[in-house]
Amino acid sequence: MHFDYCTTASLDFVLLTETTFSKIIQHQDLTVTSEERVLDSILMWAMRAREIYGWEVVDEVMSHSSPGLLFKERLQSLIDLLPFVRFPLMPYHLLKKLGESNLCQHIPVLENLVKDGINYLGLGLACPGNNQNMRFQHRRSSYKELQYICDGDNNGVLYFAGTSYGKHQWVNPVLVKRITVTASTPISRYTDPKAVVSRVYQETSFAGPRMEDGCKHSWWMVDIGQDHQLMCNYYTLRQDGSRAYLRFWSLQGSPDGRTWTCLRVHDDDQTICKPGQFASWPISGPNALLPFRFFRVVLTGPTADSSNLWNLCIGYLELYGYFR
């Protein structure tokens, strides 16, 4: 049950009855990227929200309102649902921020739950028998967050795969067969799958064009493995040593390597303007919450080099987001 997608792609969930919504929140196979998302959805449901927003927006409204006015007849339902949020699994800094919020000042049960989470993380204190308390256990279908920090960092999915998912020092993930990289043209000296996920600057690295559905396309594709999925919310490219700078391209995701969903489309994007340059872009909207196994960067228009129009010249690719 992909909870994040269901509560951001549409607001229909706010029409659910308390019984149905409560069953969903408590479902053992609930797929969530973070407990903050669960809190956001409960607040939106309780307010019968007409647009999608997070708890901070609700907190701002609370500064000049009251729980009774804000949640009306669903106030008691809100109080009943809040304990299903696993606050001890939230980041400490987020709990501290919540603890200082107007919401906590006006809703005692939320204040107590947040304090429990802070005590658990900060002091190692938990309720007796917490091993049996669901609030202290990670959800079975939860994802690991691999967050973009800066260009060329060690926080991405492909780097993580190279460490056997955090078990040892980094090794090129293609060599140890944690991931598979393919290109639109056959492997050669300058079309090397290992190079695209290496940590070494590539002077020349490209995927050449091929005809697909009557059009020229050049692409690099990554398969993160049949046992893994990624909800991608950021990605990084690095230009090789050429001046064939990307201008028209897209990042796409696929569950099977055949049907593709565009995650971000670049139309005359002038970001890359020198050889060897890193560049990174966020991915937003409902598609950022869709889990995929395959990802590819596809050249959809000519590069900036008139003598090298259709070679996709990148020497590095990294993906970020929620991984499992």
- Which of 136, 160, 185 is a domain's end point? 136
101 and 165 co-located in one domain: no
pLDDT band at 149 (very low <50, low <70, confident <90, very high): very high
Mean pLDDT over all residues of the chain? 91
Cβ atoms of 3 and 37 closer than 8 Å: yes
Cβ atoms of 113 and 82 closer than 8 Å: yes
Q: Which residues contact 216 (CB under 8 A, 6 or more apart)?
A: 209, 210, 310
15 and 111 co-located in one domain: yes
Extract the tokens encoding 253.
């995701």
Look up the CATH number of the domain holding residue 181. Answer: 2.60.120.260
251 and 304 co-located in one domain: yes
112 and 164 co-located in one domain: no
253 and 150 co-located in one domain: yes
293 and 148 co-located in one domain: yes
311 and 182 co-located in one domain: yes
pLDDT band at 151 (very low <50, low <70, confident <90, very high): very high
Cβ atoms of 224 and 215 closer than 8 Å: no
Flag whether pLDDT at 101 surpasses 90. Answer: yes
Task: Report how far Cα 117 is from the mean position of its chain's Cα atoms.
Answer: 24
Note the pLDDT tens digit of each residue in 117-131: 999 887 655 444 444
Long-range contacts of 103-108, Cβ-Cβ distance < 8 Å, separation of 24 or more: 103/55, 103/58, 103/59, 103/62, 106/62, 106/66, 106/67, 107/67, 107/78, 107/79, 107/82
Note the pLDDT tens digit of each residue in 198-247: 999 999 999 999 988 888 889 999 999 999 999 899 999 999 999 999 99
201 and 304 co-located in one domain: yes
Cβ atoms of 55 and 28 closer than 8 Å: no
Report field, pTM of the whole predicted structure over 0.75: no
**What are the percentages of helix, strand and coil residues in the chain, rounded to 5?**
35, 20, 45
Could you tell me which residue, 8 or 60, shows the higher pLDDT?
A: 60
**What is the average per-residue pLDDT within 296-302?**
96
Assign residue 125 a region: left if phi > 0, alpha if psi is -120 to 50, beta otherwise? beta
| Residue 128 confidence (pLDDT) | 41
258 and 282 co-located in one domain: yes
Flag whether pLDDT at 287 surpasses 60. Answer: yes
Note the pLDDT tens digit of each residue in 168-196: 999 999 999 999 999 999 999 999 999 99
DSSP assignment string, 125-168: ---TTGGG-GGGS--TT--EEE---STT-S-SHHHHHHTTTTTS
- Which of 136, 152, 167 is a domain's end point? 136
| Residue 131 confidence (pLDDT) | 42
**What is the average per-residue pLDDT within 68-94?**
94
pLDDT band at 9 (very low <50, low <70, confident <90, very high): confident
Note the pLDDT tens digit of each residue in 32-58: 878 998 999 999 999 999 898 899 999
Could you tell me which residue, 222 or 289, shows the higher pLDDT?
A: 222
- Which of 114, 136, 158 is a domain's end point? 136
106 and 187 co-located in one domain: no
Cβ atoms of 185 and 191 closer than 8 Å: yes
220 and 76 co-located in one domain: no
Largest separation between any pair of C-alpha atoms in the chain: 70
Flag whether pLDDT at 141 surpasses 80. Answer: no
Q: How far apart are CA 250 and CA 207, in angstroms?
A: 15
Q: Which domain holds residue 284?
A: 144-323
The number of folded domains in the chain is: 2
160 and 195 co-located in one domain: yes
